Each structure stands twice: as structure tokens, then as C-alpha cells.
Amino acid sequence: MNSRPLKISLLLFGSGLTALIYQVAWMRELRLVFGFSTAASAAVVAIFMGGLGVGSWLLGRRADQAARPLAFYGKLELAIAASAAISPLLLWLVRAGYIASGGSARLGLAGGTILRLLFSALVLAVPTILMGGTLPAAARAAETEEDRGRRLLALLYGANTLGAVAGALLSTFTLLEALGTRGTLWAGCAVNALVGLAALLWARKTGPERAAELPVLQRIRREQRTQRERSGERRRGNAETDPRRSRRRRRPAFKKRREVSSSWPPLSPASLSR
């Protein structure tokens, strides 16, 4: 197997590791603001997962069009590290705004839930949307013409999932006790920045990606579209040159005219006498 997918899978392991470190740290910080209720935790998880989905949808297209998807992946990781590093400032603003609003005690359950969603989005929207684009960019960098079934994507996704499991265990049982919540968050930022720098340096060493003008899947779809168009042109050409098919097309009109002519009522004897 080519070593390129293995290297990218190591980068994705680090990406999954830091993503769960961030999530655990943000959950603990936002619980101190919103409380430990189920609705508060659900709001945070909903914004986190929603941001990942939106990022995969928006940035996945950019990754498909990027001539250097590995460099694009590295820039995403650096942007994630920067946005996560300033999240403590945003958390301070959210805490002040939520206390000033009175929370659920003043706004009620519906108003408090909407406010928690908005404040959670203020903290989590940018980094989670950027996180959603990392896996499509890495998959685009690892795909080859030989792997038309995209089996390498299973390796990348598995490495990212293992990194997420490791991040959840490491942050919960080790980092939070040793570094605290803020220290855990900044440690994740440092690891995230190292992953981004490694991706950028590797992309610079490898140079422009092979056949980077169009992704493999786009080229396959374009070939399939061309084959469908050619087969459609052949069918139209055969229909025009085959006299039997041309007669078949004219028969419905002839039948229709005959039906219209036969539908007239016959002349009555009275009208003939006139």
C-alpha cells in the first residue's frame, strides 16, 4: 500500500484527538454557564454536531475543487487551533450575557433554550464548521485512480474515530485533572497547530498533487455522463434513419385524424332531401 494514505491517517488521528479534547472542555465550560440540565447539554451537542455537518457540506465542495487539498487541510487545522484558542474570551462574553438575561428563570424554558443555542453557536460555530471540512479535504488528498471504490476512506475514517476515542479518554481521565479546563483546551490547540503545520510542510515537500486538476470521482462522473450522451445520440440517430420507427411515430397522428373524421355524424335523410 502507498505510504501516503497512512501518513494522512496519522494526521486525521491527531485531528480526531483534538476535536474531542475541545468538545469535552467546551462542555464543561458551558455547563458552568448554562447549568447541568439535559436541555443545556443537548443545546451544546446540537450546535457541535450541526457545525460539523454544515462544515462538511460547505467546505467539502471547496476541498473537491482545491488543487492542493493537503495544504487546504493544513490551513483548516491551523484555523481551528486559532478559533479554539480565542474561545475562552467568547465564553466570558457568553457568561456575562447569560447572567444579564436572567436565563431560563426569567425567559422560561423555550426562551432559555433558544438563548442557549445562540450563545453556544457564538462559541462553537466557527471551529466546528472548520472541523467538518477536514475529513473531506484529507480524503481528497488520499484518493487515487486505483482506489475507485474509495476503500482508503475507511482507513481515514477509522483513524479519525480512533483519535476521537483517544481524545475523549485522555481529556477526561488525565488532562482535566492535570491541567484544568483551560489548560486542556490550550493543549488541544497546540496539538492541533502541530497537525496543521505538519500537513502544510508535507504538502510543500510533495509539490503539486498528481492529477490535481480534477478529482478522481469527478473524472469518473464526467466519463459516465459522456457515455450516456453518446448512447442517447446513437438512439436518436437510429430512430431517424430507421424507416419503420419513423412510420411508427406517424401512425398515432394518422389514427387520430381517422378518428376525428369518423366522429362526424352521418347525414340524415331530411338533410339530403333539402
Percent of the chain whose predicted confidence (pLDDT) is above 70 = 74
Cβ neighbours for 54, distance < 8 A, ≥ 6 positions apart: 129, 132
Q: Distances in Å between the alpha carbon of 82 and those of 61, 127, 192?
A: 23, 9, 9
List C-alpha distances in Å: 74 to 19, 109, 140, 168, 184: 15, 41, 13, 23, 22
- Global pTM reads 0.73
- The pairs formed by 205-211 with CB atoms below 8 angstroms and a separation of 24 or more are 206/70, 208/67, 208/68, 209/67, 209/68, 209/69, 209/70, 209/141, 211/145
Domain range 3-210, CATH class? mainly alpha
C-alpha–C-alpha distance, residues 13 and 27, integer Å: 21
**Domain residue spans in the chain?**
3-210, 213-242
pLDDT at 272: 46
Give residue 218's pLDDT: 58
pLDDT of 217: 53
Tell me the pLDDT band of 149, cut-offs 50, 70 and 90. low
Please name the amino acid found at residue 44.
Answer: V
